[in-house]
Chain A
Amino acid sequence: MNRRTIMVSFSSALLAAGIAGLTAASVIAADPIKIGVVSHLTGPLAGGEAVTHTPNIELWAKQINDRGGLKVDGEQRPVEIITYDDKTDPAEHIKAVQRLATQDEVDYMLSPYGTGFNIAAAPIYAKYNYPLVAVSAITDKIPELSKRFPNMFFTLGTTSGFVEGVRDTLVTMRDAGTIGNKIAMVNVADAFGIELADTARPILTEAGFEIVYDKSYPLGTPDISPVVKGAKASEPDAFVAWSYPPDTFALTEQAIIEDLDVKAFYTAVATCFPAYADKFGAKIEGNLGAGGINPDTPAMQAYRKAHKEVTGKEADYWASATYYASLQVLEQAIEGVGSVDREATIDYIKNNSFDTVLGTISFDENNNSERYWSVGQWRDGVFRAVADTGMGDSVPAVAKEGWN
């Protein structure tokens, strides 16, 4: 009888797998190129994934299929996206990547969201020779990682690059006489927030700034007002917060309430989200944050327009474009090789430059593309880049004139 119980669960599993197989088979019309992606459809990182990755995958697949597909082996083949949810759990993520590689036998895989997930998945991508063009993976270990995983590419910069962007912005503003020397700095007491604050302390001090206020707050804290009050009492010229999405919103709201009147107000992650501008309207004119884009290039304008048309949402003003660019790199590499040959695709990515929404990008000996915007500023409803590495098209930051 025990055997029967086991049989029941086995057969239900088999049945479920069978149904999945049938639906998949009926969708396939021609002979598509299968592209796999493991997403955080649920769990703590689902929000970021839904803003920055998923709409771009949708847009990219639609654009390719609308023009008939990718040119390989002398024919046009459409792309088919296969998505699994990992519930933001690394063990589930690893399993799902294995499943894509060995069960679905997808031809290519897209990069996951989050530094940890990119690095956790990298060994499997390497084992089966999948190129991994990572975007949401900001790390100072690029040389070591690319040596270990020669198939892994980086596009969004390093932790130090990130902090140096903020320093450059503040130095420019100080040289222009906009701000003085006093910085109030706060950070969220969690991995990336601590890392950024740690990196920032010596870099800002070396640049001649005085950190007059330096406090952290716990991840997920419901009340951020003591931090903002403290910062205000220290009478700073600039306010810098190494923050995550929820606290970026909370800090801004509190700064408005407390009327924290600084000429430079920087919050890190999520300042670039269109939802940030939607929430605060004109009050955030002049706010600084992580990311930024150059909205003036025709490529960027066409991309943002298509993004809005296809997905119904504005693209965020940072990693969205970079993620789309990573898809363009993959697309151009596949067509450049002219066949579904992953090893050749990896070589192609290493040795060629690509025409993307970010402009021309290529990868150095560490598989790193040193072309990214690091600080943006809200100007008339657009989050414009004011500091960058290797782009050269950011504009000087201007003073923030109060919270009106």
Chain B
Amino acid sequence: MNSGEMKFLVIGVVLALGAASIPIVSDGYWLSIATTAMMYIALSTSWTLFSGPTHLIALSTGAFFGIGGYLVGSGMSDYDQSFWLMAIIAPVVATILAMLIGLATLRLSGVYFVIFTLGLAEMIRNLVSWVQNNFLGSRGLYVLTDFTEAHIYWMLLSVATIVFLAGWLINRSRLGFALRIIGNDEQVARHVGINTAWSKVILFMTTGFFAALVGAIVAPRYSYIEPNVVFSPQLSFLVVIMALLGGIHRLWGPLVGVIPFTLIWEAISISFPNSTTLFLGLSFLLIVYFIPNGFVGLFENLTGRMRK
């Protein structure tokens, strides 16, 4: 470990400890914002693990998140299983599914993959409805636990921390190196003997695992799971937008995207409750126009210029 990495590690630990103390400082409003932000930090960062190096825009977050929420709801409501068991099963199921989807689609070139992932959440939601309708039935999926918002927040924080550690380890590994080559030029990567398909599939599985885990943890916060709410295409887009706002070529990029995004979003919701979508659209335009490489790009550009 060199001194630069040491510095990042120290900053990371300080940030994590700071974040962990939020529920002690605020129990109400700010905690609920922090919980939503932490959910998006975990989702966007795990999304970046895959999409950052490969440059493949995956719109599948909603699908995996939905699997997490739905399995927890179904397991607890229909089969009287404990939350913890379902929170373990759900990400495993999502990981297997991500593998199957990855094997089927990641051999294709970029745009086909994007289109496929776009339809994925909808496809799984319909599949779930079909199974419920023909085999299981439905009695409403209640996730009634004794967790408070602080518990959910701490669980999400732990997941986010693990995502960061995983991302850091992957970046240092042969796999991370391989992915960067794939992202730059897949032809070259194949010629130097990298198994491009499997490298991408493994990273896609990691993303699926974490998205489902987050979905499972958030389920008790929603208390009642409706398939068309958890399998939300909007979630997939928000995750991508927040990650792009931060910048996806650094692991910590989404982090600096999610926090201002959540605060601006909150300010818009308070000030213009009747036209939030309009102002959201305007802020996207401004972001794309003025900071195309995200906050990280802006930051690196400016520090680079200063050095000159």
Contacts and interface: CB of A to CB of B under 8 A. Distances in A.
A42 B266 contact: no
A279 B265 CA distance: 39
B32 A94 contact: yes
A10 B267 CA distance: 10
Contact of B223 (A1, A92, A119): A119
A210 interface: no
Contacts of A187: 133
Given A13-B263, A140-B140, A189-B133, A102 B270 contact: no
A290 interface: no
B227 A87 contact: no
Contact of A194 (B36, B129, B142, B222): B129
B221 A195 contact: no
A223 interface: no
A89 B269 CA distance: 13
A141 interface: yes
Interface of B: 28-29, 31-33, 36, 39, 126, 129-130, 132-133, 137-142, 144, 218, 221-229, 232, 234, 260, 263-264, 266-271, 273-274, 276-277, 291, 295, 298-299, 302-303, 306
A216 interface: yes
Contacts of B29: 98-99, 101-103
Nearest to B268: A16
A2 B302 contact: yes
A41 to B, nearest CB: 6
22 contacts: A5-B291, A13-B264, A14-B267, A16-B267, A19-B271, A20-B271, A41-B273, A42-B277, A84-B269, A87-B277, A89-B234, A92-B269, A95-B269, A96-B269, A98-B28, A189-B130, A191-B226, A191-B227, A194-B132, A194-B133, A195-B140, A198-B137
Among A14, A42, A91, A187, the one with the most B-chain Cβ atoms within 10 Å of its Cβ is A91
B268 to A, nearest CB: 7
A190 B227 contact: yes
A120 B271 contact: no
A12 B138 contact: no
Contacts of A174: none
A247 to B, nearest CB: 14
Contacts of B227: 190-191
Given A91-B222, A102-B28, A192-B140, 19 more contacts: A12-B264, A14-B267, A17-B270, A84-B269, A84-B270, A95-B36, A99-B32, A116-B226, A119-B142, A120-B221, A120-B224, A139-B140, A141-B142, A148-B144, A189-B133, A190-B227, A191-B140, A194-B133, A218-B126
A123 interface: yes
Contact of A101 (B28, B130, B144): B28
A195 B139 contact: yes
A94 B266 CA distance: 12
A89 B299 CA distance: 33
Contacts of A352: none
Given A13-B263, A95-B32, A122 B223 contact: yes
Given A16-B270, A20-B270, A95 B33 contact: yes
A139 B138 CA distance: 12
Q: Is the interface of A mostly helix, strand, loop or mixed?
A: helix
B229 A116 contact: yes
Contacts of A94: 32, 36, 221-222
Interface string A17-48: 10110000000000000000000011010000
Given A16-B271, A98-B28, A191 B266 contact: no
Contact of A6 (B126, B260, B271): B260
Contacts of B260: 6, 9-10
Given A6-B260, A189-B129, A195 B234 contact: no
Contacts of A41: 273-274
A27 to B, nearest CB: 14
Contacts of A84: 269-270, 273
A90 interface: yes
A241 B36 CA distance: 38
Given A6-B260, A85-B276, A148-B144, A120 B266 contact: no
8 A-B pairs closest in CB distance: A102-B28, A98-B32, A13-B267, A16-B267, A194-B138, A119-B224, A116-B224, A1-B302
A89 B302 contact: no
B22 to A, nearest CB: 14
B299 A140 contact: no
A91 B39 contact: yes
Contact of A9 (B142, B263, B273, B306): B263
A219 to B, nearest CB: 7
A144 interface: yes
Contact of B263 (A10, A88, A194): A10
A178 interface: no
Contacts of A195: 137-140
Contacts of B32: 94-95, 98-99
A141 B274 contact: no
B306 to A, nearest CB: 8
A20 B271 CA distance: 5
Given A2-B302, A101-B28, A219-B228, A90 B274 contact: no
A146 interface: no
B224 A144 contact: no
Interface string A141-163: 10011001000000000010000
A5 B295 contact: yes
A263 B266 CA distance: 53
A189 to B, nearest CB: 4
A83 interface: yes
Among B31, B140, B291, the one with the most A-chain Cβ atoms within 10 Å of its Cβ is B140
Contacts of A90: 221-222, 229
A87 B265 CA distance: 12
Contacts of A5: 291, 295, 298-299
